[in-house]
Structure 1
């Protein structure tokens, strides 16, 4: 966000934003501004969670890719590049030792975040998306996978919101 846009919002809401990255509470980089008049002391405690902590061990076959990929290395955040059509961001296969990019609303296709697991690329499951947003497991299970991905990509990280709301108790 530009400083000019931030200033417009701050002026309209008559408060300054706090900036929190969800990567402190989960395995997702999700750097966001939050405008609130609730007193928020410090940043959330870094839980040190990485993708390897939240992935399912035996996801269904429908989540795995058969396409070839370029391996980029064990120490890279993006560990591989999948050979699929689309923008670069859709081809990124994240390392289980790190964080994934920001979850977003999906429009079908290969938009789900991907990981390299057991030497093979696969898309993250809706359950893993729930874990990345600190949503209780199965909370979105009443709708299709596509709608689950959309809701979770459009949502807030629960632990970040809980951190902000703690200021109401004090």
Structure 2
């Protein structure tokens, strides 16, 4: 098979063809990201790279068998403010290079991918240009991540993959997940913080028990005292004399100047009791802090949290409208954990890539390349419809 790949990235298409058992005679790729090209060359030195799609003369690939591609969804993304919803923006101009390549090369088969969340106007335009309706496949069927994508193709007999039952816990090198499937892996994963995972439901993070003496992991019993010695501390009396966070009663209070509210703050009790229960919600709150320490510089992503609290922030709304305690359910055993990002290898496994497929570039660039890539086993499943034709 002769293959032309646009927006090739890290050549997930080539890997998928190998997994589908389809022999490849030649594979020509267009990609401008130097880090992605480095990964591609490290794994498939035989691929011929051509650069920018806008500069491509696709007539030289006339008679090729398969056109692959998924133009960048940056301009169409639901996460982008003022995203493009019509066919007069940069996102569609990129897609039209795929259409141009299809017409000029006259490839017999094609496969085009893009995000499920793009506007319906865009989906309809793509369908009109390619002459087929999309098939939505969620990568969760073959991997540990939820990743809905639309696939436009004329490859015959495309069905939904079998659910392999792969969970997040199955791909972790260490640690404990609090969800069955990871959120969609994106190119921005390198900036993951706990807030993203718990509130925005993106950039999945996992928990590992706090390391203690002699490098052995240990979970501290979830009984906490406000100050003084923690009788359950595994560190001995000196390390045990630390400030321990526990849930405490609190109330939202206002301060007034000349009859106008000028300040809102939280007042906490020091006797372990709640405030008197009244009809006013803000009079009896619970502060349940879960940060009990940190490692490194203590920046976001380097903080130690206790699963007994399950509250990230305590914030107050002004104007007497009550308060939000920001409670999140995290299903973990009792103890204290460091919340960490997925490792590059774990991120690769979410995309069903081989371990260390993206090694050789910085971790920041690895996350970007992985997030921009395809779930290989989904592509291999679709391409399997060509097996009888090219074998």
- 2:348 is aligned to 130
By relative contact order (CA 8 Å, sep 6+), the higher-ranking structure is 1
Query: How many pairs does the alignment contain?
Result: 135
Cα deviation digits, residues 78-109 of structure 1 (max 9, x gap): x9xxxxxxxxxxxxxx62x5011111112753
- 2:154 is aligned to 37
The answer on 1:17 being equivalent to 2:134 is yes
CA distance in 1, matches of 2:127, 2:363: 36
- 1:2 is aligned to 119
SS in 1 for 2:377: helix
- 1:116 is aligned to 207
Cα deviation digits, residues 55-89 of structure 1 (max 9, x gap): 0027xxxxxxxxxxxxxxxxxxxx9xxxxxxxxxx
1:16-165 mapped onto 2 (5 Å cutoff):
16-57=133-174, 95=178, 97-106=179-188, 108-110=190-192, 112-118=203-209, 119-165=337-383
Deviation at 1:169, TM superposition (A): 1.4
Question: Any unmatched runs of 5+ in structure 2?
Answer: 1-117, 194-202, 210-336
Deviation at 1:2, TM superposition (A): 2.9
> TM-score, structure 1 length as denominator?
0.73
In structure 2, relative to structure 1, the CA distance for the partners of 1:17 and 1:123 (3 Å cut) is same
CA distance in 2, matches of 1:42, 1:5: 23
Larger Cα-atom Rg: 2
Deviation at 1:10, TM superposition (A): 0.3
CA RMSD across the alignment: 2.0
CA distance in 2, matches of 1:107, 1:32: 18
SS in 1 for 2:135: strand
CA distance in 1, matches of 2:120, 2:192: 33
CA distance in 1, matches of 2:368, 2:362: 10
SS in 1 for 2:340: strand
SS in 2 for 1:160: helix
